[in-house]
Amino acid sequence: MSATTSHTVIGAGPVGTLMALMLANRGHSVRLIERRADPRTTPPERGRSINLAMAARGLLALEHAGLLARIAPAMMPMPGRMLHDEHGALRFLRYGQNEREIIYAVSRERLNRILVEAAAESPGIELRFDTRCVELDAAGASVTLRDERDGRPYQEPFEVLLAADGAGSAVRAALSARGMVQAHEQPLDHDYKELTIPAHTARSEHYAFEPQALHIWPRGGYMLIALPNTDGSFTATLFLPRHGVPGFDHLHNARSVQSLFKTEFADAERAIPNLTQQFAAHPQGQLGTLYCQGWQFQGRVLLLGDAAHAIVPFHGQGLNCGFEDCRLLDQLLSGGAARTSQQRTALFERFEHERRPDTDAIAAMALENYQEMRDAVRSPHFRNRQALAAALEREFPGRFIPRYSMVMFHPEIPYSQARRRGSAQERVLDTLLAENTSVAIGPAARVHIEALLDQSGL
Ligand code: FAD
């Protein structure tokens, strides 16, 4: 876009704020509109998605915007998953092959605050909090905003509007109501509830569990997970069917909650002194996948992040994917050919055309990963498979990379390619496991595996 183009970004969540910063870094002027109060002066809402896992795609986007060093102190390394079985036994499974292949837990509120602070320092960005987008006239290039403090609605014209207003996007709803986008939400029949596992003692940062791990209590049809925070606490999330036994609809009183936790998550139950109070007070969140086509309208409006492609959280990629949107769009815009609305239409169309196969792929992989996290990780078969996959990666670096690693540690591999290569690799693993191939790969096995990889196009 030319330096004279002004941009309105709806949503100062992580994606909207990062995109605003990237645009401002290129000298563009940005108006950043957010319905909530300023996070620099207001405490965060509690009980809903407190921290999240950041991986290479998100980190690369932050680096691209020159922000990684500011975020780094807020990042807690998680080199692997710690599995808790029903009897309290622990098993640590590394995610990657080396110390660079790790993921990080980051406080959502701290991440957002750091981004907003950076945006406030940028002379190109006008920040407007307590301002909700309530309607959009895309054809007439005008947006209706409402001041949340006095309820006053007013209209503003815009030149280019980027919608980063999350899964329930008001911009997408306005476009959809006029048939300008096709959007379809696929709800999951499992909900979630967040709980805080406090630091061991109030005065020190003593963790109830190993801090350098993503903890999982996989129980087949459901699971509890916990991510560490820098203050010694963990944020735990219970994922459970909405209906059934066990299901949220059967956890209607303190006794039923206590009983589920005592039976299934005994070590977590001991670490959460006010479990039943938290359970009653925290909201029950819903999950789902958003399939959306037609992310742009006439080079004037573009959907980004969850507003375009919200996914279930089981691969820890929703935000990573949204940040990757920002980096890829910024790279496309850096070409400079987006001065006229025709040029912008072509560029936004190209963005969606290139990006949607990847967002569809991560949506599918995120759903598939729920089964892996809550169930498959428990079986010795899964661990053998994982050990063999790691051995193949060491033996054939760059040629065989476990799918989890492609998604989490290899931003140079698009999600759609990771999914395709992942399927081909699964078939190779099936063959090798059926042949009882050892992880100590000898010269004869090497030749055989090389032939298999050739046949599979790997
Ligand atoms: P949001 O974070 O939803 O931000 C949207 C912003 O727009 C908000 O500030 C909102 O107040 C504002 N807004 C909304 N409507 C309006 C309006 N009408 N007018 C003005 N402002 C508006 N992702 C990961 O990468 N890793 C994880 O580990 C992970 N874990 C998750 C766990 C859970 C339980 C959930 C639910 C999600 C998780 N995600 C994770 C996904 C991640 O939270 C989202 O992908 C990410 O927050 C999307 O960012 P966004 O900026 O697009 O949208």
Q: Which two tokens stand for residue 200?
A: 């061991």
pLDDT, tens digit, for every residue of 388-399?
999 999 999 999
Percent of the chain predicted with pLDDT > 70: 97
Atom of ligand 1 nearest to the CA of 305: 52
Tell whether ligand 1 has an atom less than 6 A from the beta carbon of residue 164: yes
Tell whether ligand 1 has an atom less than 6 A from the beta carbon of residue 96: no
Ligand 1 pocket: which of 51, 319, 320 to mutate (most atoms <8 Å of CB)? 319
pLDDT, tens digit, for every residue of 311-358?
999 999 999 999 999 999 999 998 877 888 899 999 999 999 999 999
Task: Check pLDDT > 80 for residue 299.
Answer: yes
Task: Check pLDDT > 80 for residue 270.
Answer: yes
What was the pLDDT predicted at 203? 60
Which one is predicted more confidently, 209 or 1? 209
Tell whether ligand 1 has an atom less than 6 A from the beta carbon of residue 34: yes
Determine if the peptide bond prior to 246 is cis (ω within 30°).
yes
What was the pLDDT predicted at 336? 75
| Residue-wise burial string across 393-430, b where 16 or more C-beta atoms lie within 10 A, e elsewhere | beebeeebbbbbbbbbbbbeebbbebbebbebbeebbe
- When pLDDT is cut at 50, 70 and 90, the band that residue 382 belongs to is very high
pLDDT, tens digit, for every residue of 96-127?
998 899 999 999 999 999 999 999 999 999 99
What was the pLDDT predicted at 200? 81
- When pLDDT is cut at 50, 70 and 90, the band that residue 1 belongs to is very low
What was the pLDDT predicted at 2? 45
Average pLDDT over every residue of 175-191: 97
Say which range, 1-10, 146-155, 361-370, 423-432, has the weakest mean pLDDT: 1-10
CA-nearest residue for atom 38, ligand 1, is 313
CA distances from residue 444 to 184, 320, 391, 439, 441 in whole angstroms, order as listed? 51, 41, 15, 13, 8
Ligand 1 pocket: which of 17, 33, 52, 314 to mutate (most atoms <8 Å of CB)? 52
Q: Which of 194, 208, 197, 272 is nearest to 239 (CA)?
A: 194
- What's the mean pLDDT when you consider all of the chain? 95
Task: Check pLDDT > 50 for residue 154.
Answer: yes
Tell whether ligand 1 has an atom less than 6 A from the beta carbon of residue 13: yes
Q: Which of 277, 294, 64 is nearest to 179 (CA)?
A: 294
CB atoms closer than 10 angstroms to residue 68? 15
CA-nearest residue for atom 1, ligand 1, is 166
Tell whether ligand 1 has an atom less than 6 A from the beta carbon of residue 235: no
Task: Check pLDDT > 80 for residue 266.
Answer: yes
pLDDT, tens digit, for every residue of 16-73?
999 999 999 999 999 999 999 999 998 776 545 589 999 999 999 999 999 999 999 9
